[in-house]
Structure 1
Amino acid sequence: MIKRIASSLSLVLIVCSVAVAQLPGEKDGRMLLPNGWWLSPAGTSIDLSDLPLNAALSPDQRYLVVTHGGMSKPVLMLVDLNEHKVVQTVPVKDSWLGIVFHGKTLYVSGGNQNCVYTFSLEGGKLRAARTIQFAQPRTSGYPPKGTYAWAAGLDVNRNDLAVVFRGDSTLRYYNLKSRKIQKVRLDGMPYYCKYLSDGTLLVSMWSSKRIEAFRGKRLLYRVATGDHPTEIAVRGSYAFVANANDNSVSVIDLRTRKAVANVSTTIYPDSPEGSTTNSVCVTNSGKYVLAANADNNSLTVIDISNIKRPVPVGFIPVGWYPTKVLELKDGTVLVLNGKGNCSYANPEHQYIGRLLKGTLSFFKFPDAKELAEYTKQVYMDTPYRPAASKEATFESGNP
């Protein structure tokens, strides 16, 4: 009996010690998440609301406006980049991905409100202007009322505002002078759109593994990409497309209208899908592309010196679930972290989705030595090991 009790106590102690060792929280300057991944984000950060999705820089790069898509009430946050602090929070009925400055006017997609909000930026403050309504707003009751259109990505070129709607698979143009709307039916679900300098509009087709190029209502061409193409960055005659479902960035030659490369963003060469590469930017030097990997909590640094043979050269640790990366003229890299830098307990049974808070990270683009250290840190923070998946065993006779 004594032996049995002693054995039971030993088992309890072992289980407890293992449990304590794996409790999430801060340890040695790093943050352990409940899923077993560690966070040690580069640089400094400030708090935002939950799930920051996208951001737009003011023309003078003094301010950044952030749109959110989480469980809390939707807001826009105006960040003073000189002071590194949020200086204004603007509630909106709904918002999602699209946000862009055109001069001092800010355009923001209204999500299921099926609209685009406009704001002016004056004296360091956002001031609401008119709302451009494309369809009847969608209600959240049951049965829902209104049109399921869902304003997603948008961009502005001269007098035309282009908006893609993922709910009803349409592209809609709004002429800023005449206020007339033109609708284009798309063959698939769109996500993001980007104007080129010649007026061509690139649209990433979220459901169709391609981008499509339009001149007005006319489809010019299609180019195959990876699965779930999301953000598009353009430098010169090349476009770079983040592919969220297959851990890659597609490189497209806009002159030949063909993909010339597809570069992996994974930490290990044989990693399965799941990095969720959702944002890309080209650095000021034009030598690198930064790709945000939401589910790896890191950026991949890609050398594009040889544009047809781009090579990943390292990684940078960031916060939990990065959703947007961009670089300022002074070399400061900004990263939106959708779930912030830590998890929170819910002792009073609070809904976890409402507890998470996003962050905005600031750090300088690293030199070679710093990148090597950052890369080492990313590997330390990652619990996934290729060997572990290959060593999985199964019970004999178990189908």
Structure 2
Amino acid sequence: MNARYVLILSVFLLVSVTAVAQQKVNILEVPGYSQYCKIDTAGISVLPSGRFVKPAGQMARITHDPFGLSLSPDGKKAVTLHNGVITLIDLASLKTIRIPKYGTNKKDLPFRDGNFLGVAFAPDSRTVYLSGGDNGAVFVFDTEKLRIIDSLSLNGEINGKNYDDSFTSDLLLVTTTNELLVLDRGNFRMVRIDLATKKNVASIDVGRQPFGLSLSPDHKMAFVANVGMYSYPLIKGATEKNVDSIMITHHPYGDNTKESINGTVVEGRTIPGVGSPSSPEAMSVFTIDLIINKVISRFKTGYQVGQMIEGAEVVGGASPNSIAVGKSLAYVTNATNDNISIIDYKNNKLSGTIPIRVDSRIDKYRGYLPFGIALSKDEKTLYVALLGFNAVAVIDVATGTTVGLIPAGWGPARVRLSVDGKELYITSCRGFGAGPNGGDGFVKPPQGTYIGDIQLGLFQKVPVPNSKQLAAYTKQVIANTLISKSVMPDPKNPLPVLPGLTKTPIKYIVYITKENRTYDEVLGQLKNAKGDSTLARFGVHCEYTLPDALRVQLPNMNVSPNHIKAAQQFAFSDNYYCDSDASIHGHHWMLGVIPNEWVEANSNVSKTAKIFSKAPGRRFPGSTGSMDPEDYAERGGLWEALGRKHVSFYNFGEGNETAHNREIWTDTATGSGHVVMVPMQKALFNRTSHNYAGFNTNIPDQFRMDQFESEFTKMWITGKRKMPALITMQVPNDHTADVRPADGYPMKQSYMADNDLAVGRILHFLSRTKYWKNMLVIITEDDPQGGVDHLDAHRSILMMAGPYVKKGYVSHTHANFGSILKTIYNILDVPYVNQYDATGTLLRDFFTNKPDFTPYTLVRSDTRVFDPSVAMKRYGKDVDWRKIEKGPDMDDEEHERKDHEHAQ
């Protein structure tokens, strides 16, 4: 390429960029981009996502996460199943009875081991069968006497084989044979229970983590949807006696690699493989002939891992989960693919796919997450609960088109038609959201103040709409979800309005996640923002939040001086919300993966880890800080998006929690010890540190800072490589844990003070590197579950720092994880992955084109609350304040000269 051509090309690009900057472009945002979260059950509620909800029909607020739903044959009542709770609903009046009542003593809880998915009415419309989940039983419940009258266990011997550690999942009653069909996710099977003899009469092996169960109209064939990807092995030779000595420090392999398929050796341990994601047992639908008790077909529905779909390689399985069966065709919801597979079970073949198409502006992104499904009696219409879109899709079977949407609550899970087909019943996981859970004037409700409890579910009764009403509903759902904006690109603003549309001086992003804090308890005392200082137990001079006995002992107590200083020096939001309730959701959302139906249901059930059980499902990853192969989105999330665009990244601490991993104070390499072998995302595996401790509150955040500063210096300051475009980083100790005075944590606030000092050290260190002049630091929480907030329980911390961030600025613009990811994608010129990225609020107000390169100077911790020397003592380390405050070594001039000459 000659110099003349380069000059012409440069002029062309400059003219093109200038032309773009002078023309308005359309962007998508949520409708609540300028509003604060609120609940208005009679009007429009604003969710943490910035989306609106205004559910159709009549409503009853019920306990959160109603993943099971059954209607009585007489059409008079419904039962919703939650973890450890059932709700009886009178369908005429929508009056509800919760069992157990709030405040019931633990010893008197009827479902103390929890429940999972399965619920079915008997023909008498009085008796109901309930999945017992973790205890491997089916409860028989009398809805008039309001008590359990029997219990049927799946454990025991069938045909000479003994089954133990069963875990009951979905179930169905077969009236023609007076039996129950019950899925056992512990042993990967379906069990037939004869109700006359109360005996288990058959066990049929199915795929992994059987989740959804349906029956043909003639009762001769059962359909099982399996959401599991792998059967996870232990390290070869692991036993209950040697388990602590045989563990490895990290994930053994990347997913769908030669090592994960065939096995490998890690740290001297022989690691079995998990096999191929193309296995028929993985994410599939099995059909069972009930006459001969045999599986006759194994269908791999949806898109398959490795396929190229719309220009991107599929990395996540289809997650088939629910099935509606007609006289000859069955319809399967594939959550990850936003489509429905059609099975022609009479001819034993897959016969097509129905894509869910709602709005051409977002159909190319994933995120509808079809879950519950119902088929009209004439088999002409499907009703599909869209978990990710807060609506029920109405689909014309003949044409395979989505003809409309019905407004639901937040996270619709199940949909059923009334006996006469005239009404729809819809349940939603989170209803209208959480609302405040503390502060002046807040009255504690009977369910408590924890975010997962205060956030009620929703039951709706909606007349089946005619075409005119459906059109109005559809318009409302779209308006609730997204808006198009015509905006003028501003070349001076460091945040492009679309990925790569204009140049930005920001070349490096550090994305930091912390654990479990709300806005008010850390930043609630800051001025010019919507905070409640009475809740600021983790602020500065916050001794007034202590019990009287401690208040006198700790005058002017400072817990989070660095959070307060950084927020005031740079910029923060008082209108930011985590989309998540807890860590298992948060570490999906924040990394660009919307939690699917399996994540939601599995995170809301009581479960006991039995890693040495013969039941393979008992070793399932019950992780909180990483994504399992069952959870992957079709195109993945942040990691995969960066990988597709060849954008460099590196990870400290994210994604290293797996099934029942060990977390002790000596697990400093990664924070974990692993014995159940689970793959890590392939895109992440070779770009993550094996010398940085992820989540483990036994390890001080100060230890992590030593690890981070050392590795950063070695790789990107004194080393030959440049800092990658994105660094993700976890500093988790604001999660808090039990007090440990001997280890430097005399109170709960000590963990937050440890975390605060770590945040100060990160900013202090980074702002003294050569990369600072082109850097953006984003600091947030993975979830808000540990705290309280006077505005909304989901409101949390978002701070941004860097030369191009406004100084002393408070943003009142709505923000959530989608907004953060949009910021990252727009700056790094990476296409959006899902609907929440594409519709996230554009946070241009945080940025300025007049850089201020002033570094951040940390504030040492209040040693009455947290003394880092005490916390590091057990590691034989002290805190070298002189080195820490000096910051990284100055750039090597000779190295910089050579680097410059090479670039020229």
Q: TM-score by structure 1 length?
A: 0.83
Secondary structure (helix, strand or coil) at the match of 1:353 reads helix
Secondary structure (helix, strand or coil) at the match of 1:295 reads coil
Secondary structure (helix, strand or coil) at the match of 1:335 reads strand
Contact 1:293 1:322 survives alignment (8 Å)? yes
2:213 equivalent to 1:114: no
Give how far 1:330 is off. 5.2
One-letter code of the match for 1:231? S
2:438 equivalent to 1:347: yes
Secondary structure (helix, strand or coil) at the match of 1:21 reads coil
* Partner in structure 1 of residue 283 of structure 2: 209
Mapping 1:213-252, distance limit 5 Å: 213-216=287-290, 217-226=293-302, 227-252=318-343
Q: Can you list the C-alpha shifts for 1:329-371, whole angstroms capped at 9, x where unaligned?
A: 1511110011112322122694311211111111111111111
Counterparts of 1:250 and 1:112, CA distance in 2: 31
Give how far 1:131 is off. 0.3
2:93 equivalent to 1:80: no
Mapping 1:197-346, distance limit 5 Å: 197-207=218-228, 208-216=282-290, 217-226=293-302, 227-269=318-360, 270-304=363-397, 306=398, 309-328=399-418, 329=420, 331-346=422-437
* Partner in structure 1 of residue 498 of structure 2: 391
Counterparts of 1:20 and 1:204, CA distance in 2: 38
Counterparts of 2:484 and 2:426, CA distance in 1: 26
Counterparts of 1:64 and 1:204, CA distance in 2: 24
1:56 to 50, 70, 73: 70
The structure-2 alpha-carbon separation of the partners of 1:251 and 1:147, relative to structure 1 and needing over 3 Å to count, comes to: same
Q: Can you list the C-alpha shifts for 1:19-58, whole angstroms capped at 9, x where unaligned?
A: 9932111579311111111101111201111111121111
Secondary structure (helix, strand or coil) at the match of 1:25 reads coil
Counterparts of 1:395 and 1:383, CA distance in 2: 27
Mapping 1:70-219, distance limit 5 Å: 74-87=84-97, 89-90=99-100, 91-93=110-112, 94-104=114-124, 105-121=127-143, 124-135=144-155, 148-157=165-174, 158-181=177-200, 182-196=202-216, 197-207=218-228, 208-216=282-290, 217-219=293-295
The structure-2 alpha-carbon separation of the partners of 1:322 and 1:386, relative to structure 1 and needing over 3 Å to count, comes to: farther
Secondary structure (helix, strand or coil) at the match of 1:52 reads coil
Secondary structure (helix, strand or coil) at the match of 2:469 reads helix
Counterparts of 1:66 and 1:337, CA distance in 2: 11
Contact 2:141 2:149 survives alignment (8 Å)? yes
Secondary structure (helix, strand or coil) at the match of 2:56 reads coil
Unaligned runs of 5+ in 2: 1-31, 101-109, 157-162, 229-281, 303-317, 440-447, 488-495, 509-646, 648-904
Counterparts of 2:33 and 2:469, CA distance in 1: 33
2:51 equivalent to 1:37: yes
Contact 2:297 2:348 survives alignment (8 Å)? yes
Structure with higher RCO (Cα < 8 A, 6+ apart): 2
Would you tell me which structure has more strand in proportion to its own residues?
1
Query: Paired residues, what number?
Result: 363
Counterparts of 2:368 and 2:33, CA distance in 1: 28
The structure-2 alpha-carbon separation of the partners of 1:41 and 1:198, relative to structure 1 and needing over 3 Å to count, comes to: closer
Give how far 1:149 is off. 3.2
Q: Can you list the C-alpha shifts for 1:260-319, whole angstroms capped at 9, x where unaligned?
A: 221122433534222221111012443211100011101111011x2xx41111111111
* Partner in structure 2 of residue 25 of structure 1: 38
2:461 equivalent to 1:362: yes
Contact 1:76 1:92 survives alignment (8 Å)? no
Q: TM-score by structure 2 length?
A: 0.38
Secondary structure (helix, strand or coil) at the match of 1:296 reads coil
The structure-2 alpha-carbon separation of the partners of 1:77 and 1:222, relative to structure 1 and needing over 3 Å to count, comes to: same
Contact 1:223 1:257 survives alignment (8 Å)? no
Counterparts of 2:355 and 2:437, CA distance in 1: 37
Secondary structure (helix, strand or coil) at the match of 2:133 reads coil
Secondary structure (helix, strand or coil) at the match of 2:173 reads strand
The structure-2 alpha-carbon separation of the partners of 1:173 and 1:229, relative to structure 1 and needing over 3 Å to count, comes to: same
Identity within the alignment, %: 25
* Partner in structure 2 of residue 378 of structure 1: 477
The structure-2 alpha-carbon separation of the partners of 1:180 and 1:390, relative to structure 1 and needing over 3 Å to count, comes to: farther
One-letter code of the match for 2:37? P
One-letter code of the match for 2:181? A
Contact 1:163 1:172 survives alignment (8 Å)? yes
Give how far 1:390 is off. 9.6
* Higher Rg of the two aligned structures: 2
Counterparts of 1:159 and 1:256, CA distance in 2: 28
Unaligned runs of 5+ in 1: 1-18, 137-145
Counterparts of 1:101 and 1:271, CA distance in 2: 40
The structure-2 alpha-carbon separation of the partners of 1:191 and 1:387, relative to structure 1 and needing over 3 Å to count, comes to: farther
